[in-house]
Amino acid sequence: NAGVMQNPRHLVRRRGQEARLRCSPMKGHSHVYWYRQLPEEGLKFMVYLQKENIIDESGMPKERFSAEFPKEGPSILRIQQVVRGDSAAYFCASSPQGTSGNTIYFGEGSWLTVV
């Protein structure tokens, strides 16, 4: 039973380029969460999605960031026109249902470096 799969693990982008991070949830999980972790800091909630629906995007910056979880395929976090401040680890997590009493499991993370 494969865990949460994220790719790429490491991504380097120049300022102004686009970054696309992908996440495949655990088998049987239909809820996906994206978190950002800056160096030496905690986990900041960005967005919560179910298939074809964004449930809560209150933690996501209003500009340049978007997320989707299509009917087929992985969830994608997209960052347009990246800036140095976007450099961080981006963790995806999944759960079989919402977090009211349910565990969420994290992927290995995608480390974005903006140069």
Partner 1 sequence: GENVEQHPSTLSVQEGDSAVIKCTYSDSASNYFPWYKQELGKRPQLIIDIRSNVGEKKDQRIAVTLNKTAKHFSLHITETQPEDSAVYFCAAPAGGGGADGLTFGKGTHLIIQP
Residue ranges binding partner 1 (CB under 8 A): 31, 33, 35, 41-45, 48, 55-56, 58, 91, 97-109
CA–CA gap between residue 77 and residue 60 (Å, rounded):
10
Of 82 and 94, which CB lies nearer to partner 1 in the complex structure?
94
Determine which helix (DSSP H) or strand (DSSP E) holds 111, and give its type and residue range: strand 110-114
Minimum Å distance from CB 6 to partner 1? 9
CA–CA gap between residue 7 and residue 20 (Å, rounded):
9
Minimum Å distance from CB 16 to partner 1? 27
User: How is residue 75 written in tokens?
Assistant: 């969830």
Minimum Å distance from CB 35 to partner 1? 8
